[in-house]
Amino acid sequence: MGRFGSRAGKLSGRYAAEMAPELPRYTHVPGATPHPIRDPAGHAYGQAIPPCPAPTAEDWTPCWPLERGRVLFESGYYWEAHETWELAWVAAGRQGAVAGLIKGLIKLAAAGVKLYEGQPVGVERHARRAADLFDIARKELGDTALGYSLPALIQVAKDAAIKPPERPVLSPGTPSPLLSLAKAHT
């Protein structure tokens, strides 16, 4: 099975959620679970990463990590969403409004990781930076891009910074969807 599911090798511009409906067996929490890529016990150890075409604000669907990252994030797999969105960020060229919007998603996922780690200052810092990045992207791209309402993304990030959800009492690696992009997804 590939890093992003059993059908990941058959990429043809379809949503990654269709290609890889299964989720990892745990969500990575640094210091508490095996590193997914570097540790032989990791859920993505030794697995190939399929290529991603560069996304644009209007035509982002062929860039499978954007949708796969959303599915992972909504399921509470924040570290995995962060890593997946980084693939799209690199494909977007790491600069410009689209890359900035993706970097905001990465920062929001990092806030989720900090939530699992019990680091409220880290949650606030990453969520505030995400809100700033979403606002910068909105000024250039308008109110909708990459399938998201940017004003709604800004609010999601601000809410996470102001009043983060309670840290779940779970065994390490058990995902708990505490942050959500559902209100922002168009």
Return the domain boundaries, the chain.
53-162
Q: Which CATH superfamily is domain 53-162 in?
A: TTHA0068-like (1.10.3450.10)
Sequential pLDDT tens for the chain (186 residues): 233 333 333 333 333 333 456 899 999 999 999 999 999 999 988 888 888 899 998 888 889 999 999 999 999 999 999 999 999 999 999 999 999 999 999 999 999 999 999 999 999 999 999 999 999 999 999 999 999 999 999 999 999 999 988 877 778 889 988 898 988 888
129-155 pLDDT, tens per residue? Answer: 999 999 999 999 999 999 999 999 999
CB 137 within 8 A of CB 150: yes
Continuous H helices in 8-77: 16-19, 64-74
Per DSSP, the three-state class of 5 is strand
Listed residue (112, 150, 104, 106) closest to 129, CA to CA: 104
Distances (CA, A) of 100 to 17, 95, 111, 112: 23, 7, 16, 19
Burial of 61 (0-12, 13-18, 19+ CB in 10 A): middle
pTM for the full predicted model: 0.87
Token representation of residue 125: 């810092």
